[in-house]
Structure 1
Amino acid sequence: MFDAAADCLRLLAAGARLSRHDALIPAEFAGHLPAPARLFGALTRVGANTKAADGRRLRPGERLAAAFEKMSPAYVKLGQFMATRPDIVGFDMAKDLGRLQDRMPAFSRADAVAEIERSFGRPLGENFIDFSEPIAAASIAQVHQATTKDGRKVAVKVLRPRIEPEVAAEFRAFSRAARLIAGLSPTTRRMEPVKFIDTLKAAAAVELDLRMEAAAASALKADLKDAPGVRIPEIVWPLTARRVLTLEWIDATPVSDFAALAAKGVDRKRLARTIITVFLTQALIKGFFHADMHQGNLMIDEEGRLALVDFGIMGRLDETTRRTFAEIIHGFITRDYHRTAKVHIDAGYVPKTHSVDAFAQALRAVGEPLFGLSADKVDMSRVLQQLFDVTALFDMHLRPELVLLQRTMVTVEGVARALDPEINMWEAATPVVRGAIAEAIGPRRQIERLRDATQKALDIAPHLPRYVELIAAASERVSDDAISASQRAT
């Protein structure tokens, strides 16, 4: 009873905040609603702040992002997660939410010190020579600069005080709202709002354990150890715990600081291609990728290497998915729409009841208009929106990991295009895509598959006599039953 009342109060407060930005029932969507809902929406919009600094009306996604930025950490996470699901919220809104700024007021240095001492069971001075005031603060944690006892310069990330119960309470309210939404109509039920919130809750649980972020950074560093010009910070494991993450400090320049990049002599065109190459190498060859590659998480170190930071959102693709996605991209690059359609259907993304030729024709409608356009005219988010619209006609099921990959591609393209407005994403992707296909179907991989299959056969071999006995016994029982049934019938 108390939880239900508390959830209702939380949701009412959130509704009030959203209304102040015309983000509860946006005017743009009101025409699709019944009259009572339209009237309620109009009342909630009275006095709403809907204008940008330049006087233009903000888009619904921009207004929602602005509202979330002023709400609790759970709503920031909700907005970030919605940005990864353009299949649900639409590409325009996902794109706007992708720019949501995860910034919160810092908590005190004293609270951070207390958490570190609690986590390691000893005074701060036994771990660090110096420990700064907070230098960056976000919804879940904040970062301090420090120096370890052995003289290493490090970044220390500390979770916010009492963040776990606060997030848990918000998610309890989210779940209650999701169940209500699911019960409104078959359409809202098909959107699976309860599953959506459950998935977000699981993702947030990972972010609230900084050991998971440390493990992700460590794994990515191992994957990219041979990649030239790339740097992932080293994790300081003895000074990392559930609520504290310590990693190597990197003196670097954000890729968004064009003046500083110019002073360093950085070739922005080359950097743009490097960013695309590094992302696709992670995703299509290694199968484990940084899924939050916005400008704030990409920097250039003192040696000119691309440094990646903040590993809270990661994506993973299995071998089959990597090969399939590489072939799909390659099909668009080479304009082989029949092959691209066949890959979709063979992979089970599109039901086999649909015609390969018909699906290829639909894909051609998306791909052909791109060729001949200058790079600045090709908007990846628009291309993917059209692709989603077309594939929906063929009952394509969108897997979350692919949606996350596609959303990250849009982010990466945006960063690359800011550096080099003339860059062509497809052209830059070609060498990595071809490499991924060669890696997947080349002789070495075929030998590895043969070895794996042989090993499985050897594992099964000792049990074969027993399997044969069981099959023979089953066959005998079926035969006996058939004879008995025949005798009864006569």
Structure 2
Amino acid sequence: MTSVGAGFRLARAGWVLVREGVVAALPGEELSGMPKLGWRLARVLTRRRARSHLRGDRLAQAVVRLGPSYVKLGQFLATRPDVVGNDMAVDLALLQDKMHTFPKAEAVAAIEASLGRRIEDLYATFGEPVAAASIAQVHGAEVVRDGKASRVAVKVIRPGVRHRFFQDLESYFLAARLQEKYIPSSRRLRPIEVTQTLAQTTKVEMDMRLEAAAFSELAENTKDDPGFRVPAVDWERTGRDVITMEWIDGVKMNDLTGLAAAGHDLKAIAANLVQSFLRHTLRDGFFHADMHPGNLFVEPDGTIVAVDLGIAGRLGKKERRFLAEILYGFIVRDYRRVAEVHFEAGYVPRQHNVSAFAQAIRAIGEPIHGQSADTISMAKLLTLLFEVTDLFDMATRTELVLLQKT
């Protein structure tokens, strides 16, 4: 794959973002010189119809138009407000439910090719798609075991998504290299290494057998945990392009009205979710790294069931200890210890002063200590976090990218 082809695809992506009004929607008043001229030109070139749309809708429409790989990139960047800014991250989060389904016949062909069996021999019934994401979509089906029918969820990879993704990947790396070359202040964010992380996680995500293995591992780790589980995998009907698993009857966690109507205690669910995630992260060092509300269901008894485990993260014992100490230090307001851990872990370069960094951490922790979530301005908090990491020359830690994402 040539750099010319990557450059062409990158230019096309930029043109689509300009025409859909995404660039014009960015805050450009404070720019100067060529960047401001480019921003003004983008406003002129924005399609008339796009000008009436909200910024988030413009962004979602543009990224969906560019294809599944750009949706995946957008979803990944939605979790990196330090890279794209808080407002843009919020808009990118809207991409979770924007993908169109592909025809049932194509899903059947993919399943039969992957498993080497006819669809009638695999499933008693096989329905239309019920959910779609950037990499795959889900169908409802039934299987018969020992004369008894049971409902299953069948996740099938999008036709051609691997080829399209690997084509687009070169343009991602070209954009990252250009960013590092022409925007020196962004180098500490390590855009090339972050792109490599995106590439590797998506390669893994596009093999359904590896997702099945992640479900199996997480199930073993959590078998004795209260209030959390993952679906059981049907290995007989799982291959590179398809995974079959237990159907989950529950309310999606992003359906707050539905949760309340079902009589669930929302505070108890929130506490259970945080405690479960900390167990997976700190105890096991293996966690669900795509845990947005659309991938979490709540069963009638309050049990949380996590689905869509294509992306999983791992932490070594050293990183888990550092993370535990940092969290505990924030909880008990021991900012000095939090600062020391950052230096011990190598997150802050040694030429900086521990006490000065502890002071900066106090400026982050004190305004939010004991506050309810609805009183905390995430925009202000993220801005301060970014400024502190810049002030103390903190580079992106690629081993923590998936944890930060989640």
Q: TM-score, normalised by structure 1?
A: 0.75
Tell me whether 1:316 sits opposite 2:314 in the alignment.
yes
Which amino acid in structure 2 is aligned with residue 97 of structure 1?
L
Equivalent position to 1:162, from 160, 167, 181: 160
Residue matched to 1:472: none
1:394 aligns with 2:392: yes
Answering whether residue 270 of structure 2 is matched by residue 275 of structure 1, we say no
1:41 pairs with 2:36 = no
The 5 A counterparts of 1:288-303 are 288-303=286-301
What SS does the corresponding residue of 2:130 show, helix, strand or coil? strand
| Letter matched to residue 227 of structure 1 | D
SS of 1:292's equivalent in the other structure is coil
2:131 equivalent to 1:132: no
1:85 has 2:80 as partner: yes
Q: 1:232 aligns with which of 220, 230, 234?
A: 230
Partners of 2:396 and 2:127 lie apart in 1 by 45
Q: For 1:70, what is the secondary structure of its paired residue? A: helix
Question: Do the aligned residues in 2 keep the contact of 1:73 with 1:140 (CA within 8 Å)?
Answer: yes
Q: Distance in 2 between matches of 1:249 and 1:362?
A: 48
Could you tell me whether the CA contact under 8 Å between 1:76 and 1:102 is conserved in 2?
no
Q: Which residue of 1 aligns with 2:137?
A: 142
Q: Is the 8 A contact 2:69 2:161 kept in 1?
A: no
Q: Secondary structure at the match of 1:353?
A: coil
* TM-fit CA distance, 1:379: 4.2
Partner secondary structure for residue 132 of structure 1: strand
Quick one: which amino acid aligns to residue 19 of structure 1?
V
Shift of 1:382: 4.3
Amino acid in structure 1 at the alignment position of 2:115: F
Residues 26-425 of structure 1: matches in 2 within 5 Å? 27-29=26-28, 31-35=30-34, 37-46=35-44, 47-48=46-47, 49-52=50-53, 58=55, 63-150=58-145, 151-184=149-182, 186-187=184-185, 191-371=189-369, 373-379=371-377, 382-408=380-406
Q: Distance in 2 between matches of 1:320 and 1:16?
A: 45
Partner SS, residue 182 of structure 2? coil
Deviation track 1:329-352 (CA, whole Å, cap 9, x = no partner) reads 111111111111111112221223
**Per-residue deviation, 1:364:** 1.5
Which segment is superposed worse, 347-356 or 70-79?
347-356
Instruction: Give the number of aligned pairs.
Output: 400
Q: 1:334 to 1:380 in 2, by over 3 A?
A: farther
For normalisation by structure 2, the TM-score amounts to 0.89
CA distance in 2: counterparts of 1:256 and 1:206, whole angstroms: 26
> Which ranges in structure 2 are unaligned for 5 or more consecutive residues?
none
Report the Cα offset of residue 164 of structure 1.
1.4
Spell out, residue by residue over 1:127-169, the C-alpha distance to the aligned partner (whole angstroms, 9 max, x if none). Answer: 1111111111222111111112323321111111122111111
The two structures, once aligned, show a CA RMSD in angstroms of 2.6
Can you list the C-alpha shifts for 1:5-33, whole angstroms capped at 9, x where unaligned? 54444333322210123334655146435
In structure 2, what is the equivalent of residue 458 of structure 1? none
Point out which structure has higher relative CO (alpha carbons under 8 A, 6+ apart).
Answer: 2
Task: Please say if residues 254 and 298 of structure 1, whose CA atoms lie closer than 8 Å, have aligned partners that are also in contact.
Answer: yes
Contact 2:139-2:153 within 8 A present in 1 as well = yes
Task: Measure, in 1, the Cα distance between the counterparts of 2:132 and 2:235.
Answer: 22
Gaps of 5+ in 1: 409-490
Tell whether the 8 Å contact from 2:154 to 2:243 is kept in structure 1 after alignment.
Answer: yes
Give % identity. 47
Partner of 1:454: none
